[in-house]
Amino acid sequence: MDIRHNRPSPTKFWNWFNPVGRQTGGWAFILHRITALGLTFYLYLHLAVLGQLAKGPEGYDGFLALVRNPIAIAGELLVVAAGILHGLNGIRIILTTFGLSVTRQKQLFYVLMVIALVVILIFGSRMFTA
């Protein structure tokens, strides 16, 4: 009898991101993973940007001038949004880990996401109008 199929495997990590059939907690899980990966990617990008300092003031100023455009600002807003979403959802996970709001975790997620949306909009309006 061959029962190879369907076993758990680390190679099935893509299942983490599959939204089909997921419910509120699952959506929060997916959001948390995606924002974590995005922020990790940004950390390396940030270090690479800071590396421009090694080229002297001219090199760094030249790079800053290059990224002062709407597309780069939108990218920065994505980073801010990822930080806010990951941070607020992280608070939900910490609370539930300590037995707080476990039976209200869905409602907690919705409330935190509304707060996140408002904060992201405020950041966005300021970043694009500055």
Rule CB under 8 A: say whether 36 interacts with another protein: no
Residue closer to another protein by CB (options 67, 100) is 100
CA dihedral 93, 97, 99, 104 (to 10 degrees): 20
Comparing CA positions, the residue from 95, 79, 81 lying closest to residue 44 is 79
Cβ pair 110, 89 in contact under 8 A: no
Angle 61-41-63 (CA atoms, 0-180°, nearest 5)?
10
Rule CB under 8 A: say whether 116 interacts with another protein: no
Distance spanning both ends of the chain, measured CA to CA: 67
Residue 42 CB, shortest distance to another protein, in Å, is: 21
Residue 3 CB, shortest distance to another protein, in Å, is: 4
Give the interface segment with another protein, choosing from 39-47, 79-87, 94-102, 118-126 (CB under 8 A).
94-102
Rule CB under 8 A: say whether 129 interacts with another protein: no
- Applying CB under 8 A, the residues found at the interface with another protein are 1-10, 12-13, 15-16, 20-26, 28-29, 32, 92-93, 96-99, 102-103, 105-106
